[in-house]
Amino acid sequence: MTSAFNPNQVQYIAIAFSWLLFVVILYLIRKRRIKEEYSLMWLLFSLLFIGFSFWRRGLDIISSFLGIAYPPAALFMILLMAVFLIMIEFSMIISKLSDRNKVLAQEIGLLHFELNKLKRKLHKPGKEKKQGTKPQSGNSGAGVKK
């Protein structure tokens, strides 16, 4: 501990990085790159890190409470916990998404089938008109009126 380096240096770095994390998350939410509901876990843990980077005694208190001899190890534990929780949340989100994805794909298949059936029915009698031309001209007409 009495060696050449400044023991406060690590604290400055910790404060800088935890703030950076917090600000980056907020920035991404603002840019709608992350949805609010999926950012909660990140914000929570970045605030926790900011807290510990200022309040260094806190880490000692927690590590002695948990019986961890080396306080930085408590930090690693919290860090790992954060990563685990966030990853579990991701697995849940992915599962939900893939389930919804499946339902959508099935509906698309079923609807496409019905659509083809209706199309065939429409075209059966004469096939004299091509669809698309008429509704298109109708559309542009309506546009002109306005």
Partner 1 sequence: MAPNRRAINKPMKQKTTNKILIIIPAYNEAETISALLQAVHKENSTWDILVINDASTDATEELARASMIARVITLPINLGIGGAVQTGFKYAVRNGYQVALQLDGDGQHPVSEINKLITMVLEDEADVVIGSRFNKKKNGVKTHFLRRTGIKLFEWFSFMLIRQQITDHTSGFRAYNSRALAFLAENYPTDFPEPEVVILLGKNNFRMKETFTQMLERQGGVSSIPIAKGPYYMFKVLLAMFMAAIRSRIIHNETAS
Interface of this chain with partner 1, residues 122 to 141, rule: CB under 8 A: 123-124
How much is the CA Rg of the chain, to the nearest whole Å?
A: 30
Give the SS3 label for residue 61.
Answer: helix
Q: Which of 37, 128 has the CB closer to partner 1?
A: 128
CB 111 to partner 1: min, Å: 10
Contacts of 9 (CB under 8 A, 6+ apart): none
Q: Which of residues 25-44 bind partner 1 (CB under 8 A)?
A: none
- Could you tell me if 62 and 74 are in contact, meaning their C-beta atoms sit under 8 angstroms apart? yes
Contact set for partner 1, span 75-104 (CB under 8 A): 98, 101-102
Angstrom distance (rounded) from CA 77 to CA 74: 5
Residues that bind partner 1 (CB under 8 A): 98, 101-102, 105-106, 108-110, 112-113, 117, 120, 123-124
